[in-house]
Each structure stands twice: as C-alpha cells, then as structure tokens.
Amino acid sequence: MLRILQARARFLIDFVERQKPDFILFAVITGMSSLLLYHIAKKKNIKTFFIQTVRIGEKYTITENYTGLSYVESAFHEIQKEILNFQIKHVKDAENFLNNFRAKPKPHSVTDAIKARPIGRRKQFGFLKPRNLIRSSSWALKVALDYVKDQNKDDHTTIKPWHYILDRVKRKTRVLIGFDDLYDDVDLEESFAFFPLHLEPEMAISLFAPFYTDQLWLSKQIARSLPAGFKLYIKEHPAMFGYRTRSFYKELKKIPNVKLVRPTYESFPLIQNAKIIITLNSTAGWEAVMLKKPVVAFGNVFYNVLPMVKKCVAIEDLPRMVKEQLERFHYDENALIKLIAAIFQESADMELVQIWDIEGGSNMEKKEREVVQFVDLLASKLGLKTI
C-alpha cells in the first residue's frame, strides 16, 4: 500500500511540475489520487478550488479548503465584525428563504427526496420481469467481456466481475427478504434524539469525520450519552437501502434505548419533534439548525461556525455537550441569517445534480447555460471578473 501511495505521489508531482497550472478545480475528491493532488497543489502554492453544495436549493459555492466553505465562512466572519459593506438584498433573501423553509420544509436536492429512491420490496420485484431479466443478463455479459478485454485486469483497483455480480445478488436478496421486522413505531410525543445514518463510502465520513467512520460504534456512544428515559431514533439513509446487512441493524437493535426508523419515514417530523439532533455532518443537522433545534456534530461542516452548534472532537465530551444543548441551548437567529446571507453572496445557482447525475452527457448547450453563473463566480475568485 505504501508503494502504491509513493508511486501515485511521484506521478502527480511530476504532472504538476510539468503542467504548471495556475489553479486546480476539483469537482469531487473521491480517492487517493485526487486527495494527493489537492495536498501537492497546496504544498506548491497552487490555488485549489473545490465545488461544494451549500445545501440551499441548487446553489453551489467555491471553497479553497475541501473541509469547509472558505469564502462563505470568511464572509460570515466579516459580517459578524460589521467590516463588510454587505448588500441588504442578501439579508432579505436570507430572511425570505428561512421563512419559506420553515413554512414548508423540503429537501434541498431532488435526489434527497424519499420519493426519488426505489425503497421497498414491492418496487424491487421489478427485476423479475422478463424484460428486466434480459437487460440484467446483457449487463452481466458486458461486464464479463469488458473484464476479459481489460489490459489492466490484474490491477488492485479493478473489480472482478464475479465479485460485482455476487454483490448485486446479495443486495437483491436482502431487499427481497426485507427489513420490516426490524423497524420500530415512531412516537413523536416521547423524548428522543435523532441520529441519521450516513451514506457510505463517502467523503462526508472518510474526509470530514475520519475518526467517526464506524457508525455502529458511534450509535452506541450516542445512546449511552443521552439522559435517562430518552430514546435514540436512528434512520437509515435512503440511498443505503439494501447495502447494509441485516446483522448491522440487529446490532443497532441490541442497544436498549434505540429505535430503528424505516427509511421511508420523512425526516422533517423527526427533526421538528426531536429534543436534539446528533449528526456527523449531514444535511439533517443544517435543517435542524434552521428549525431552531439544538445540534451536536462530529465532523467538519460549514454550520459549525454558528455559536449554537456544538462540535464534538472527543467522544468523552459528548454527554456534557448533550446536557448543555438540552438544558442551556441558546438559539441565535441573527447569526443564522448572517450565515445564510453569506451563502447567498458566495454561491451561484447551478443544477449540477440534474445536468451531471440525471441527464449525463446529453444536451451540452443546456449544460453550458447552466454553469455560466458558477463560472462567473470562479472568475471572480481568480480576479478575472467582478460580480
């Protein structure tokens, strides 16, 4: 593993020294190579820009540091110190957004909506239809042929087709067996904390919360940090349905004060009725802040800059933080509005999920129109344009 790391580092150092880029724009950091490139660029004083969602509608921002929203956070601190000539329009936009969200909470992305996920045994039986069976067989044959033709099939990163197919079969089997017998009923009247599980693998865990990657272990620590009589409601991420084993959920169910919520249950009633939301760095934590709920986060996330959010960096501090948030929580509406206003100033509208994940390579003219605002934002950070 060390030799692989060294070889990639040498390749990337040579690449950077030959190309001499003025800046590097990262869409995502998903593995060793992109993370190495980021740190190599930093060491060589090359500007790094990372595209990051601000979790408000279709807005995206640029950050120089992938662990936070550097320009948004700088603007927020300047607003707090009242040294920035800030546009009143951004404050008004922030207030309007916050009022609209509270009146009718909804996910910031269409892919985060539960209806966008095919969850449930009934929907999963569709693969048994003759047309879908033929399509699956054709896909399996293509995967096998591509592997045979691959000149790098012995590389450690190449997934063997039989492993890929076996994984798909296992997931289908889990879904067909179902998890209904493991889910608990929700009682919004009882005292409970809400902990949403994260999608994994994902940089939100591996890079933003690297010391809390074991969510089963973390669930146990949270459960034992709650006051007597409290329940811990744990809800699976909709995109993880069928990926985790039944044994994972059974281990969660062994924790005495844990209730497992089915992934089809809407998160907003849980957030609105929970006494406290505890999260790694999820959007649920951001939604909870906007709904005036106390939050404890474990990972790096932009809303940690708010004074009413507690970040837990040592697990033994968690019981104390939970107690403080439950008994002495002070909500700061003014700080929240300033943070949202900073987001409006330092972001641009871009339907990235729609043009990248949903539409793919089609309609390039639409893609060009869609990214104009974001390109202008990038140009402003390079001193090429004023916005």
pLDDT in tens, 189-231: 999 999 999 999 888 899 999 999 999 999 999 999 999 999 9
Please work out, in degrees rounded to the nearest 5, the angle formed at the alpha carbon of residue 103 by the alpha carbons of 99 and 108. Answer: 80
Tokens 């997934």 belong to: 159
Give the model's pLDDT for residue 360. Answer: 61
Does residue 84 surpass a pLDDT of 80? no
Q: Are 48 and 23 in contact (CB under 8 A)?
A: yes
From the candidate CATH numbers 3.30.1360.70, 3.40.50.720, 3.20.20.150, 3.40.50.2000, the one assigned to the domain spanning 182-333: 3.40.50.2000
β-strand partners of 155: none
C-alpha span between 216 and 295 (Å, rounded): 20
Domain residue limits, the chain: 2-108+340-381, 121-177, 182-333
- Name which residue leads in pLDDT, 251 or 1: 251
C-alpha span between 196 and 261 (Å, rounded): 10
Q: According to DSSP H, which parts of 128-183 are helical? A: 130-149, 161-177
C-alpha span between 22 and 175 (Å, rounded): 49
C-alpha span between 199 and 196 (Å, rounded): 10
Does residue 125 surpass a pLDDT of 70? no
- pLDDT single digits (tens) 320-363: 999 999 999 999 999 999 999 999 999 999 887 766 665 665 66
User: Please, what sign has the CA dihedral across residues 266, 272, 277, 281?
Assistant: positive
